[in-house]
Amino acid sequence: MDQKGSVSSHQDKPVPRCSLGSSSGLHYGALVNSVSSLAPLASDKPPISQRRAYVAIAVLCYVNLLNYMERYTIAGVLSDIKNFFVISDSTAGLLQTVFICSFLLLAPLFGYLGDRYNRKYIMLCGLSVWLLTAAGSSLVSKSQFWLLVLLRALVGVGEASYSTVAPTIIGDLFSGGQRSVMICIFYIFIPVGSGLGYITGAGSANLTGDWRWALRITPIMGLVGLVLMVFLCPNPPRGAAETHGDGVTGHSSYVEDVKYLLKNKSYVWSSLGVTSLAFLTGALAFWLPTFLARAHVTQGLRPSCTGESCNSTDSYIFGAVTVATGILGGALGTTISRQLRDRFSHADPLICAVGMLGSVPCLFITIFVASSSIPVTYVFIFFGELLLSLNWAVLADILLYVVVPTRRATAEALQITVGHLLGDAGSPYLLGVISDAILSSNPDTSDFRSLMYSLLLCPFMGILGGVFFLITTMYITEDKKAVQRLVEGNLFLRISAPEPQVAFIFRSSSMPL
């Protein structure tokens, strides 16, 4: 037999320790010790106590909250920034684009490091960079817009280190249904943090009369997160939750990791769905508060903003809606997933497809009703965001159970890179360019109408994302069955050496499953 991957582990007692070798010949979806069905036995002693794991989750969620608060604070005071620097829609959209670009370019590096080195130290270094650059961006003067752009790019460096590594730590602290719940809680803080970013940004600007104070709140709160992470966040062995605390070791090159992921069709198609979702949510999150503010002006409900301090009511309301729909949608998506997953193996990508496709009519109505009824617009924003929020926790769970533990950080990093590169890295800027182009070609068109027409791109991306998730349903069942066959019938136990020693031998990919 051609043994493509084996490893031995010396223990005081014969507790299996799994390893993935460098072979890229394993069938895609051939997961070892990374699926929910491999939950630890009650009698096994976990490497990290349950209490400490819960504390770690609380710290990770707090920092995740701050990440997304900081990311969307700019959107909450975008009108103030535009008037302060006297810039166009496309230039304003560049602030988010440079942040996302640096974020996605460095994600693969941190994914590589996260699969091989101490993940806690990686997060601490990244968080420190984030705090310094975020605070520094609040000190720019009126003639230093270029410096604000540069500092926003550097903020993405810090966030890339955290977003690629933190979910893999959660995956190594919990397994099974408990992991799904913890991932749900962690990802709920994406919309919650985004919503609070609008609220705290607009509130700080209104209280102080200076939009730059909006960029100083999260760095102050981030110092607390940095201290908490130093003392309360562990670095569990990779795969610890599925291997009864023993962990998984692996020796493979980055190229082999990428080849493995590209053969995993569930991972590839769900990542394309994530890309569509990122494009859609990134564009909406950046431009909807400004769109709503212009809708008020169009209806004659408030005067046009000309000074440095603009009316921030829409940022408050939109932020509150984002928080509420994030919590409800995340909890609802996870609950439906747990109820249906045992009966329908393709339930998770189907839930994501329903969320994406169901949001499309809500988005169309939102865009066209804004000029006549603000309350009705907010109703459909609520339902649209609720449907989109079904996806976040479910998508994270899909990645964790279709990728082996030693390649999860790389998988997170590549998904982030592709998702942001083709998604929200360019969508705010692209919509700004379209809006400016419409204004240039037809000077009689209002800035509200030009932005409205550019936003029509979002529903079409929702349709495309729904199609990608429907394609994922075609492969995810096969991947799960491949896992079951590998675990139940194709994982052989060999005992050798004078000490208690256990080795798992992976069957060659040339042998039929």
Digits of tens for pLDDT over the chain (513 positions)? 444 343 333 334 443 434 333 333 333 333 333 333 333 443 444 557 788 889 999 999 999 899 888 888 887 788 788 888 888 777 887 787 788 778 777 888 888 887 788 888 888 988 888 888 888 888 888 888 888 888 888 888 777 888 788 888 887 888 767 877 888 888 888 888 888 888 888 888 888 888 888 888 888 898 999 999 998 888 887 665 555 544 444 556 778 878 888 888 898 999 999 999 989 988 888 888 889 888 988 888 777 766 555 667 777 888 888 888 888 988 898 889 888 877 888 889 999 999 999 999 999 999 999 988 999 999 999 999 999 988 877 887 788 777 776 677 788 778 878 887 888 777 888 898 899 889 888 877 788 889 999 999 999 999 999 999 999 999 887 776 665 555 454 344 333 344 444 443 333 333 333
Q: Is residue 94 part of a domain?
A: yes
Distance CA 309, CA 208 (A): 10
DSSP letter assigned to residue 499 = S
SS3 245: coil
Contact 282, 458 (CB under 8 A): no
Distance CA 105, CA 414 (A): 10
DSSP secondary structure of 158-215: HHHHHHHHHHHHHHHH--HHHHHHHHHHHHHHHHHHHHHHHHHHHHHHHHHS-GGGGG
CB-based burial label for 328 (10 Å; 0-12, 13-18, 19+): middle
To the nearest 10 degrees (0 to 180), the angle between helices 391-402 and 408-421 is 140
CA 338 remoteness from chain centre? 20
Alpha helices (H) in 209-312, listed in sequence order: 217-232, 254-263, 265-298
What distances in angstroms separate CA 319 from CA 283, 383, 398, one per listed residue?
15, 14, 28
In terms of domains, do 70 and 115 share one?
Answer: yes
In terms of domains, do 205 and 282 share one?
Answer: no
Distance CA 96, CA 70 (A): 11
Query: Token pair of 5, please?
Result: 């991957």
Residue bearing tokens 């075609």: 474
Cα pseudo-dihedral 324, 329, 334, 339, rounded to 10 = 120
Q: What is the pLDDT of residue 503?
A: 40
Q: For the chain, first and last CA: distance in Å?
A: 14
CA angle 136, 423, 363 (to 5 degrees): 105
Q: What is the pLDDT of residue 469?
A: 95
Distance CA 124, CA 122 (A): 6
Q: Is residue 17 part of a domain?
A: no
In terms of domains, do 337 and 309 share one?
Answer: yes
In terms of domains, do 200 and 87 share one?
Answer: yes
HSE on the CB side for 179, CA within 13 Å? 29
Q: What is the pLDDT of residue 505?
A: 38
Q: What is the pLDDT of residue 59?
A: 92
Q: Is residue 19 part of a domain?
A: no
Cα pseudo-dihedral 338, 341, 342, 345, rounded to 10 = -170
User: Which of 294, 278, 286, 274 is closest to 432 using CA atoms?
Assistant: 286
SS3 246: coil
Q: How many domains is the chain partitioned into structurally?
A: 2
In terms of domains, do 216 and 272 share one?
Answer: no
Q: What is the CATH number of the domain that holds 345?
A: 1.20.1250.20
CA angle 20, 179, 383 (to 5 degrees): 125
Distance CA 167, CA 9 (A): 26
Query: Token pair of 422, please?
Result: 């083709």
In terms of domains, do 206 and 298 share one?
Answer: no
Query: Token pair of 298, please?
Result: 């169009």
Q: What is the pLDDT of residue 21?
A: 37
Query: Token pair of 409, please?
Result: 């950080």
User: Which of 489, 35, 465, 423 is closest to 507 using CA atoms?
Assistant: 489
Q: What is the pLDDT of residue 472?
A: 93
Which strand ranges, in their side-by-side order, compose the sheet holding 491-495?
6-10, 501-506, 491-495
- The torsion angles phi and psi of 249, rounded to 5 degrees, stand at -115, 155
In terms of domains, do 310 and 425 share one?
Answer: yes
Q: Is residue 219 part of a domain?
A: yes
Mapping DSSP onto H, E and C, the string for 381-439 reads: HHHHHHHHHCHHHHHHHHHHHHCCHHHHHHHHHHHHHHHHHCCCCCHHHHHHHHHHHHH
Range of the domain at 371: 255-492
In terms of domains, do 169 and 266 share one?
Answer: no
Sequence-separated (6 or more) residues with CB below 8 Å from residue 255: none
SS3 491: strand
CA 463 remoteness from chain centre? 20
Q: Is residue 334 part of a domain?
A: yes
CA angle 437, 72, 102 (to 5 degrees): 75
Q: Is residue 268 part of a domain?
A: yes
In terms of domains, do 358 and 487 share one?
Answer: yes
Distance CA 143, CA 123 (A): 33
Query: Token pair of 178, please?
Result: 């408990």
DSSP H/E element including 68? helix 50-76
Q: Is residue 482 part of a domain?
A: yes
Distance CA 148, CA 111 (A): 27
In terms of domains, do 280 and 227 share one?
Answer: no
In terms of domains, do 225 and 261 share one?
Answer: no
Q: Is residue 513 part of a domain?
A: no
Distance CA 513, CA 503 (A): 20
Q: What is the pLDDT of residue 486?
A: 54
In terms of domains, do 208 and 285 share one?
Answer: no
10 forms bridges with which residues in the sheet?
501
CB-based burial label for 464 (10 Å; 0-12, 13-18, 19+): middle
